[in-house]
Amino acid sequence: GNSVTQMEGPVTLSEEAFLTINCTYTATGYPSLFWYVQYPGEGLQLLLKATKADDKGSNKGFEATYRKETTSFHLEKGSVQVSDSAVYFCALEKPNTGNQFYFGTGTSLTVIP
């Protein structure tokens, strides 16, 4: 089957610290992988994506690499800011299904000054 396992939170970091949020997946076929972010009081927004093995998605200083050999898509940022405080969701898109998504449980990140 298809599933996403995401690092549990909450995570609290000081400003400018390095961030890693782990995500591994199980899928049949070759899914696309995504990180979504939900800022307080807002809806889910696409942060970055990768559609095939070894692709690296990047946006706003965040990066994640599609690792087929380890079935992982870990999210990283070298220096977090207070404005990065949000809930982050890892997700996969089931291939050839017209966008059926499977989400991880979400990881809450709080960055303190």
Please, what is the minimum distance in Å from the beta carbon of residue 85 to other proteins?
18
Q: Does 28 bind other proteins (CB under 8 A)?
A: no
Stretch that binds other proteins, among 17-25, 62-70, 72-80, 97-105 (CB under 8 A): 97-105
Binding residue (CB under 8 A) for other proteins from 77, 88, 104, 109: 104
CA 69 to each of CA 19, 76, 101: distance values in angstroms, whole numbers, following the listed order: 22, 19, 21
Q: Does 89 bind other proteins (CB under 8 A)?
A: yes
Q: CA 55 to CA 71: how far, in whole Å? A: 13
Binding residue (CB under 8 A) for other proteins from 7, 76, 85, 102: 102
Please, what is the minimum distance in Å from the beta carbon of residue 3 to other proteins?
9
CA 13 to each of CA 21, 48, 58, 68, 79: distance values in angstroms, whole numbers, following the listed order: 12, 21, 21, 29, 10
- Specify the pairing of strand 86-93 against strand 107-112: antiparallel
Residues that bind other proteins (CB under 8 A): 4, 32, 34, 36, 41-46, 89, 93, 98-106
